[in-house]
């Protein structure tokens, strides 16, 4: 298995620790159900435990533990790092922050949290998220693909059976695809474009595409939109120690996700609605 960033090697230990945590959570929940005769949490774990009734207990327990591990690993750092990068770019580009605030103020009113039904009415906020994904895809390499047969692409022969890591990070900064300064954060480039993140436009694939496309896409887009919109509309933001916008550190750290090397530190000031 190709492991260009040594992710697989580094994460084996942490996966084991997380499995231990999920093991304990499932055990506690089962004890609760046995004691009270019912489960009052009404969540995914309850649904999985209900579904597993009557099946081989040990096998199902292991499956549930691994499913929780997968969703936890795939669904936490990806969302938080995208949000952190979006805020980093907005704080580094005060003119873009001002435009985003203006759109929100005019559309839903200053200080109000964003709701799901507002999505279509906030094209600039959508463009900010797309531009964040273009420059800072939280999964810089897609899950590797395997060539079913010999294939020729741009004069290169890819032999049957080769593993193909897809470098979404490089695609997002490819000057053959993106006009203007490809390293510049400019949500305007998406205004009026059809391009979305659902795997149909190969120039922007933050969630991958095809059969292995991220199953958390819809959920992730929804919560990112709500969180980013609410952070921008409900707070003004100040940098620590009078730091200037242009001094914000944007160094990247490649790991399971593409994180900021140094966490963003900013101070929220509640705005009056």
Which residue, 143 or 267, has its beta carbon nearer to ligand HEM? Answer: 143
Which residue, 94 or 215, has its beta carbon nearer to ligand HEM? Answer: 215
The sign of the torsion formed by the CA atoms of 55, 61, 67, 72 equals positive
Which residue, 72 or 124, has its beta carbon nearer to ligand HEM? Answer: 72
The sign of the torsion formed by the CA atoms of 142, 146, 147, 152 equals positive
The whole-angstrom separation of Cα 224 and Cα 82 is 8
Least Cβ distance, residue 224 to ligand HEM (angstroms): 6
The whole-angstrom separation of Cα 130 and Cα 133 is 5
Least Cβ distance, residue 213 to ligand HEM (angstroms): 5
Contact 127, 144 (CB under 8 A): no
Least Cβ distance, residue 273 to ligand HEM (angstroms): 28
DSSP class of 273:
-
Least Cβ distance, residue 143 to ligand HEM (angstroms): 4
Residue ranges that bind ligand HEM, judged by CB under 6 A? 70-71, 74-75, 78-79, 82, 138-139, 142-143, 206-209, 212-216, 219-220
Residue with the shortest CB distance to ligand HEM: 208
Contact 145, 174 (CB under 8 A): no
Which residue, 223 or 239, has its beta carbon nearer to ligand HEM? Answer: 223
């Amino acid at each position: 298995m190709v492991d260009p960033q040594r992710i697989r090697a580094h994460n084996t230990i942490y996966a084991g620790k997380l499995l231990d945590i999920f093991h304990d959570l499932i055990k506690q929940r089962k004890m609760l159900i046995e004691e009270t005769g019912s489960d009052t949490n009404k969540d995914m774990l309850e649904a999985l435990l209900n579904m597993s009734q009557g099946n081989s207990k040990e096998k199902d327990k292991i499956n549930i533990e691994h499913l929780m591990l997968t969703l936890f690993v795939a669904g936490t750092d990806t969302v938080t790092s995208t949000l952190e990068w979006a805020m980093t770019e907005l704080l580094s580009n005060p003119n873009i922050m001002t435009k985003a605030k203006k759109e929100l103020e005019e559309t839903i009113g200053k200080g109000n949290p964003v709701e799901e039904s507002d999505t279509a009415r906030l094209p600039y906020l959508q463009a900010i998220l797309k531009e964040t994904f273009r420059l800072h895809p939280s999964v810089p390499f897609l899950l590797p693909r395997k060539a079913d047969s010999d294939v020729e692409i741009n004069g290169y022969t890819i032999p049957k059976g080769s593993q193909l890591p897809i470098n979404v990070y490089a695609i997002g900064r490819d000057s053959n695809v993106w006009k203007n300064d490809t390293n510049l954060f400019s949500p305007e480039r998406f205004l009026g474009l059809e391009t979305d993140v659902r795997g149909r436009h190969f120039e922007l694939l933050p969630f991958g595409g095809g059969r292995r496309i991220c199953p958390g896409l819809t959920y992730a887009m929804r919560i990112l939109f709500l969180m980013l919109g609410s952070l921008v509309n409900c707070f003004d933001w100040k940098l620590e120690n009078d730091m200037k916008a242009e001094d914000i550190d944007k160094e990247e750290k490649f790991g399971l996700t593409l994180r900021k090397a140094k966490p963003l530190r900013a101070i929220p000031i509640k705005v009056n609605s």
